[in-house]
Amino acid sequence: MPRAAKAIAAGTSLEAWEVERDRLEDLAPLLLDAQDRLRVVAAAELESSTPQARLRFGVTYGIYGFVTQELVDWLNTFIAGRSAIEIGAGHGQLAAALGIPATDNRQQEEPAVRAHYAALGQPTVRYGDNVEKLDAMAAIAQHRPEVVVASWVTHVFRAERPEAAGSVSGVDEEAVIRNCEAYVLIGNTHVHRHKSIWSLPHELFTPPWLYSRAVNGSPDFIAVWKRSGLSSP
């Protein structure tokens, strides 16, 4: 298996998504604009959607977390005018809504990764035109942000913690925290339960206006780690 495909196999366990298509509402008219870009919608517009329909939409269009207006407002309030970037930005619409740089290593454009997803019968992420091809640490070095935002990013695989999975090309989140004032992660409490940064001081929020493609019944979250909360090396 090529190295890039190993990165996927080692870390990103994709949930089964072959649900009953004909019995599910089509979320595309609600969530995509005329250019098939993810729209920012009020959380109330997603309240009546089912987890299965969100899963089907998310996998079909390579989307993990949905961009609600409430999420954008929360992040804008938290950032409060500080310099910020998004890493692992994927489609780039969250960063666009926040008016901040979008960055991603754009791994899913690599032939080996595309082939791996094709073998799974799943589309790859459709990267936005605004997404710079930079891995997390290169993006931080270039933009020097005070706040780093990430949504559904995969952490780096560490041989000493194989049970935590991750990806060989994933994000070294401890290094991110050391190199910014605040790291804001959006994810799912079950899907992202193995991240090693949970052992570091953080704040955790589970607001009702977060939506994702997760179907495990656990809440989605926003978590914040601050460099000031770390012990000196």
pLDDT tens digit sequence for 49-67: 999 999 999 988 989 999 9
CB 91 within 8 A of CB 126: yes
d(CA 112, CA 137): 23
If pLDDT is split at 50, 70 and 90, which confidence band does 68 have? very high
Within the chain, strands assigned E span 84-87, 102-104, 131-133, 147-151, 182-188, 203-205, 220-226
Residue 159 DSSP class: T
Nearest to 214 by CA among 54, 30, 46, 47: 54
Q: Are 186 and 65 in contact (CB under 8 A)?
A: yes
Q: What is the pLDDT of residues 173-188, one digit of tens each?
A: 999 999 999 999 999 9
Question: CA-to-CA distance for 230 and 202, rounded, in angstroms?
Answer: 10
- The answer on pLDDT for 13 being more than 70 is no
Quick: pLDDT tens for 189-206.
999 999 999 999 999 999
How far is the C-alpha of 188 from the C-alpha of 2, rounded, in Å? 29
Position 5, amino acid? A
Q: What percent of the chain has pLDDT over 70?
A: 88
Which are the contacts of 69, defined by CB distance < 8 A and separation ≥ 6?
40, 41, 42, 43
Q: What is the pLDDT of residue 16?
A: 41
Q: Which long-range contacts (CB under 8 A, 24 or more apart) does 13-18 make?
A: 13/165, 14/59, 14/120, 14/122, 15/55, 15/214, 15/215, 15/216, 17/55, 17/56, 17/59, 17/122
Six-digit token string for 215: 């179907």
- pTM for the structure as a whole: 0.88
- pLDDT score of 116: 87
The string of DSSP codes covering 5-26 is: HHHHHHH--PPP----GGGS--
Query: CA-CA distance, 216 to 203, in Å (whole number)?
Result: 22
| pLDDT tens, residue by residue, 72-127 | 999 999 999 999 999 999 999 999 999 999 999 999 999 998 898 888 888 888 99
